[in-house]
Structure 1
Amino acid sequence: MQLTVIQQRIYELRGQRVMMDYDLAELYQMETKRLKESVRRNRKRFPEDFMFELTKEEYDSLRSQFATLKNPPSVDGQPATSKRGQHSKYPPFAFTEHGVAMLASVLNSDKAIEMNIAIVRAFIALRQLALQRSDFLQQLQQLRTELHQRIDVHDAQLNQIYEALENMLDIEAEKKAKEQAWKNRERIGYQ
């Protein structure tokens, strides 16, 4: 499975990157109910920083943002009855990267192990992307600072050039004024 497909199922909640139990169950090709049962039987392996249950508000927000649950189709304008288990009434579990890795020890199928490896790689790729972005932003900030310093230096140099030109123009103006004054002076002596 492509990393981008897995990365699209990684959400940010409570300041952590997480995957929902229903997405993991789909990737592992098992029922969400079975995945949750396995986790509950091994609850000690999943501390709060590995897995947490969403609050009702988080769950509702996630449902509205990502349309995680399907609306049943309507028949003759009347809503159809949904299949049992299609619409979960309990908030999902959110698994951090460490929680997903721990699932490998709980779920013992070849598919689960294969998918765990792919999911951990997706988390690693996202982390590397974030680090590269951070490095890029740091380099951009450094370039911006250097540019401002160079502009400040160039501004100072241009101001010095303008002052020198003004001084030269003032000196020329004074010379011309003296020459004009010399020519217009009142002459004494024989003509």
Structure 2
Amino acid sequence: MENQIIPDEVIMTKIFYIRGQKVMLDKDLAELYGTETKKLKQQVNRNLNRFPSHYMFELTKEENELLRSQNATLKKGEHSKYLPFVFTEHGILMLSNVLKSESAVQVSIRIIDVFVRLREVYAEQTEVWLVIEKIKSKLDNQDKNMEIVFRYLDELINKKENQPPRKTIGFKPDGF
């Protein structure tokens, strides 16, 4: 995909949520950068000090199997015998420094832009959910208040029906 504008949708389909972080697989990044996964991993291994665990980590066997079962394109036996590396947003930025090519820099910028857009969408979505929850809470309170009002009305009606008629006070003209 080198020297081509990569559509946001293509990048988004390659972002996974693993260990509470949005990450991309080494093979997907290699494809986007226009290189082989093996070469990408070699460069990373030569520069491991630039990739702390919050920038990049290796999947466990269980995580890899789960990812394969969720993604039909990751068929067993078609890929490396080594567990994949996954890169966070910061790791992707560091990759462009390690790969040292202009196309790697451009691809990294595109990927980071998508990460930023996803964060913005998530923030907007969170705000909408908070407003909805606030409205629900108000409606719940109003429902409870209405319930109390109706309960009091029922009590007043029952109390009035069960009491003997009140004796009138004051002047009584004849015939009453």
Tell me how far 1:2 sits from its aligned partner. 2.1
Tell me how far 1:170 sits from its aligned partner. 5.5
Please give the residue correspondences for 1:54-93 in structure 2 after superposition, counting only pairs within 5 Å.
Answer: 54-70=59-75, 87-93=79-85
Overall identity of the aligned pairs, in %: 41
Aligned to 2:56: 51
Deviations 1:101-153 (A, max 9, x none): 11121122222111111111111122222222322222222111111111122
Q: Is the 8 A contact 2:26 2:87 kept in 1?
A: yes
Give ranges in structure 2 of 5+ residues lacking alignment. Answer: 1-5, 167-176
- TM-score, normalised relative to structure 1: 0.74
Alignment size in residue pairs: 161
In 2: Cα distance, 1:8 partner to 1:102 partner: 21
Distance 1:64 1:174, change over 3 A: same
In 2: Cα distance, 1:35 partner to 1:141 partner: 45
Secondary structure class of the residue paired with 1:48: coil
Q: 2:10 aligns with which of 5, 18, 21?
A: 5
Aligned to 1:174: 165
Aligned to 1:113: 105
Aligned to 1:80: none
Distance 1:25 1:158, change over 3 A: same
For residue 140 of structure 1, what is the amino acid of its counterpart?
I
Moved more, 12-21 or 107-116: 107-116
Distance 1:87 1:149, change over 3 A: closer
Q: 2:28 aligns with which of 23, 27, 33?
A: 23
What's the Cα RMSD here?
2.2
For residue 83 of structure 2, what is the amino acid of its counterpart?
P
For residue 71 of structure 2, what is the amino acid of its counterpart?
F
Which portions of structure 1, spanning 4 or more consecutive aligned residues, are displaced by more than 6 angstroms? none
In 2: Cα distance, 1:68 partner to 1:62 partner: 10
In 2: Cα distance, 1:64 partner to 1:153 partner: 50
Q: Is the 8 A contact 2:68 2:75 kept in 1?
A: no
Tell me how far 1:166 sits from its aligned partner. 4.3
Aligned to 1:154: 146
Tell me how far 1:62 sits from its aligned partner. 1.6
- TM-score, normalised relative to structure 2: 0.79
Aligned to 2:94: 102
Moved more, 157-166 or 35-44: 157-166
Secondary structure class of the residue paired with 1:174: coil
